[in-house]
Amino acid sequence: MSNEKIRFSINVDDIHENTSQEVISTTNDKLKLALIQHLTRVESSRAWHTPASLVLAISLVLCTSTFRDSFGVGSSVWQAFFMLLLLWCVCWLAHTLIKRQKGCSIDELIEVIKKKKSGGGE
């Protein structure tokens, strides 16, 4: 075995440098607040999924089921129960859609963090 190193050479025509950086300095509590607000917005933007799924499922039940007397409860009571349940889920869906907040991108979150730093009374 030989300890010789094989060397290769290449011709470089041009070098492009992209090494500029931006540093954001902030406090722990301001960063926590910005991240909590971001998480709340993300959760709020997706909160409509559950009520929409329930509206769809209960609608399918009402369309495809034949209600019968069971557990000592009449068929009309079962049908009324599912109709009220559907109405409640539709109201829940409407409420979540009204209260829904637009999701926030990573770039928007970074801008919020930057503004929190500069808005602190410097």
The answer to whether 97 and 48 are in contact (CB under 8 A) is yes
8 lies in some domain = no
122 lies in some domain = no
11 lies in some domain = no
Task: Residue 37: name the closest of 104, 114, 98 by CA.
Answer: 104
24 lies in some domain = no
107 lies in some domain = yes
- pLDDT per residue, tens digit, the chain (122 aa), is 567 788 878 888 888 777 778 888 888 888 898 889 888 888 888 888 999 999 999 999 888 888 888 888 888 888 898 899 999 999 999 999 888 877 778 888 888 888 864 444 44
9 lies in some domain = no
What is the residue range of 45's domain?
A: 29-112
Tell me how many domains the chain contains.
1
Q: Is the pTM here over 0.85, yes or no?
A: no
